[in-house]
């Protein structure tokens, strides 16, 4: 199988590239390195890297040559980032996705796996969240990812393409570097490494569904290998964790005690999130296999190695 992975030098994308390379698939990575890192791809065989933007039609045509499946992970990511720059968000996530779908259609690439987000749901109406939950995104990011889904499902129907949309919940794991707009786990890890208190917005009893990046990579591969399967699927752990509990787990994993500082809730943050993964289990054979406590230990080990490698 020859795969194109957009955003393949990024956090989730590079873990997918590793999985594909380990299984001897040929991989083309397309990434503009706005948030990706070339070191995430070091040591991989059978991987070709193209630096470019998914909004560039000429670059897309080059990257799409001979491809059997497209994994689309390139995106402008984050609810808070999108609130500050909603135009960029839609330019990348909506128009970029549409250009990629069109390029795949012209090249007769039948299998397309789109990385979506639980941000499309907005504030929950019930728990756990299944694929039929109302879609009421309350940030430009959520709107843009939903628009990408809708375009993908339209192409699947109108042009008879096998397209699967994977709705990620809170992904964490190796290659996830600190970003002020990013996942709370990476933010906590950054503060721990600097021996600073962990900042929690609200009372800390809000819940999240944390899923390890290796489980997400496996979900992508299963989606690509599921012949004739189309539609949208949740990809999470199916396990709720409060932010207070997360703060305890991550401090225990490092034996560093920094305490917690509480601040007022932030606009755009949902209170609770929990996935129902029964559809992905039934149709794709997906299971979340990495326990949060063990996953955090492994991630913090990677963080320490990364920090050591980047010290002058």
Q: Active-site residue 114, yes or no?
A: no
CA dist., res. 245 & res. 137, Å (int): 26
Residue 157 φ/ψ, nearest 5 degrees: -80, -50
Q: Do residues 115 and 166 lie in contact, with contact meaning Cβ atoms separated by under 8 Å?
A: yes
Peptide bond preceding 275 in cis form (omega within 30 of 0): no
Q: Specify whether the backbone of 292 is left (phi greater than 0), alpha (psi in -120 to 50) or beta.
A: alpha
Residues 6+ apart with CB under 8 A from 239: 209, 210, 274, 288, 292
For residue 199, give the H/E element and its range.
strand 198-201
Name the DSSP letter for residue 204. Answer: S
Of the candidates 114, 126, 141, 262, the residue annotated as catalytic is: 141
Active-site positions?
141
């Amino acid at each position: 199988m020859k795969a194109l992975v957009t955003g393949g030098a990024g956090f989730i994308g590079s873990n997918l590239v590793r999985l594909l390379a380990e299984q001897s698939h040929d991989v083309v990575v397309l990434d503009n390195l706005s948030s990706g890192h070339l070191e995430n791809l070091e040591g991989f065989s059978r991987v070709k890297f193209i630096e470019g933007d998914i909004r560039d039609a000429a670059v897309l045509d080059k990257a799409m040559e001979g491809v059997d499946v497209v994994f689309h992970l390139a995106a402008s990511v984050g609810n808070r980032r999108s609130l500050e720059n909603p135009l960029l968000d839609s330019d990348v996530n909506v128009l970029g996705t549409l250009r990629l779908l069109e390029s795949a259609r012209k090249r007769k690439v039948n299998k397309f796996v789109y990385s979506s987000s639980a941000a499309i749901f907005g504030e929950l109406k019930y728990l756990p969240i299944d694929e039929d939950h109302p879609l009421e995104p309350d940030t430009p990011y959520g709107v843009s990812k939903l628009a990408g889904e809708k375009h993908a499902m339209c192409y699947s129907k109108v042009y008879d393409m096998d397209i699967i949309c994977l709705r990620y919940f809170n992904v964490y794991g190796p290659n996830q570097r600190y970003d002020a707009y990013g996942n709370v786990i990476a933010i906590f890890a950054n503060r721990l490494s600097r021996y600073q208190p962990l900042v929690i917005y609200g009372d800390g009893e809000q819940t999240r569904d944390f899923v390890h990046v290796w489980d997400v990579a496996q979900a992508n591969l299963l989606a690509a290998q599921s012949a004739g399967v189309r539609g949208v699927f949740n990809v999470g752990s199916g396990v709720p964790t409060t932010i207070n509990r997360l703060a305890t787990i991550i401090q225990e994993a490092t034996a560093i005690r920094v305490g917690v500082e509480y601040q007022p809730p932030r606009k755009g943050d949902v209170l609770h999130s929990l996935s129902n993964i029964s559809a992905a289990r039934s149709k794709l054979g997906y299971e979340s296999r990495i326990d949060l406590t063990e996953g955090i230990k492994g991630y913090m080990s990677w963080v320490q190695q990364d920090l050591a490698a980047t010290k002058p």
